[in-house]
Amino acid sequence: MHENVLKIMLTCVNSQVSPSLIQLIRGYPGYDVRVIGVDTVSLNDNLGKCFCDQCYQVPLGSDKDYITAIKNIIRENDIRLIFPGSDEECLELSKYRDELKNLDCEVCCSPYEVILLASDKYELMKKLKDNGIPVAEVYSAKTIEDVRGVALMLGYPENDFVIKPKFGRGSKGFRIVTSKKDKYAAFYAGDHCKLTLEELIDVFSCRQEEIHKFLMMEYYPGDKYSADALVSKGEIISMVMRNNGSLPKIKPPTQDAKIVFDEDVREYAESIVKLINIDYFVQVESGRTKEGKIGLIEINTRLDATLPITMGLGLNFFHEMITYAITGKMSNDIKDYRNYSKNLRFRRYWQHIFEELPT
């Protein structure tokens, strides 16, 4: 048993990927790491508790009682670090970062202002464009009539376009609007995400007050990329990029991807990180236009479910972030690969557990 006990909170531990994330967190050199898990589901239904040293049910990250519950758990367990697993929790925890520091607990994420901007996909796009970073044509419609006009500006029906929530995660509400939809294929498929403009208008015809919550932008038909970056105050220390293929990611987490080293994808991510002064970690999602150029899809400032992919290059971003939180500095010897000797493909393969139910 190590003399130094380090208690770390991980949120969203009922997710399917939490066992692999917890495995990465453990084993930090020189410490006996204890993982304290929290999630919104009840403990009876929380499978994540099987992998944690202690587990709690907490309110939603957007709930007014969330931060009070988190503070109580920090005090009870002497927690020193928090890894946020959802956008809502990341936003709320960063907002109260100074108060949590007074409890000797560090939140491993960017400052509140950065996360607030990143969580609004429409405002983020405008910020990048205003600062000379190329982004897709993006619009915000206020009425059903606006939707038709925006569709024309985006080149519909010749060109497809995307509609998705300005705030949101997990691909909820994401759709590709196309005039080339195969209705039978959509009916038969279990994961279709396409609809026509008329179908889109029909969806919002009885909920017109909701349309302003969505953005409309050009669709990237080329390959889609995720750049996972370890960051210190706007400077990328290490990056692992993956090519997710040309199909849209509508059922996260990622199941199949290739580790790649496309320099233009990297440079694009670097320009965004530098502009908005990200810290700790960011995932920059981008895609190729029909001309092959890189454009933004979105950025994620909470800890990503596919972070285990970094281990393919022998990197443990969780351990590096623990060092950063404890010492205030990144390690001097973190590798940042521009190429690699092996051509690696990431694939996820599920296991199972048995849980004894109360009698």
pLDDT, tens only, 300-352: 999 988 899 999 999 999 999 999 999 999 999 999 999 999 999 999 888 88
Distances 46 to 15, 37, 51, 55, 56 between C-alpha atoms, Å: 9, 10, 10, 9, 9
Q: Which of 73, 69, 45, 44 lies closest to 59, judged by CA?
A: 69
Tokens of 112: 């509140």
Whole-model pTM: value is: 0.93
**Mean pLDDT estimate for the chain:** 93
Asked if 5-107 and 221-347 have one fold, the answer is no
Q: What is the pLDDT of residues 35-77, one digit of tens each?
A: 999 999 999 999 999 999 999 999 999 999 999 999 999 999 9
Give the pLDDT band (50/70/90) at residue 359: confident
pLDDT top residue among 225 and 188: 225
Give the pLDDT band (50/70/90) at residue 251: confident
Give the pLDDT band (50/70/90) at residue 1: very low
Q: Which residues contact 326 (CB under 8 A, 6 or more apart)?
A: 80
Tokens of 357: 């139910």
Domain ranges of the chain: 5-107, 143-218, 221-347
**Partners of 176 in the beta sheet?**
162, 194
Q: State the pairing for strand pair 235-245/256-260.
A: antiparallel
Lookup result for tokens 């956008």: 87
Whether 167 has a pLDDT exceeding 60, the answer reads: yes
| pLDDT at position 170 | 59
Does 3.40.50.620 match the CATH number of domain 5-107?
A: no
Q: What is the pLDDT of residues 83-103, one digit of tens each?
A: 999 999 999 999 999 999 999
The number of angstroms, rounded, from the C-alpha of 308 to the middle of its chain's C-alpha atoms is 14
CATH of 221-347, one of 3.40.50.10490, 3.90.850.10, 3.30.470.20, 3.40.640.10: 3.30.470.20
Order across the sheet with 224-232: list the strands.
Answer: 294-300, 280-288, 224-232, 235-245, 256-260, 345-347
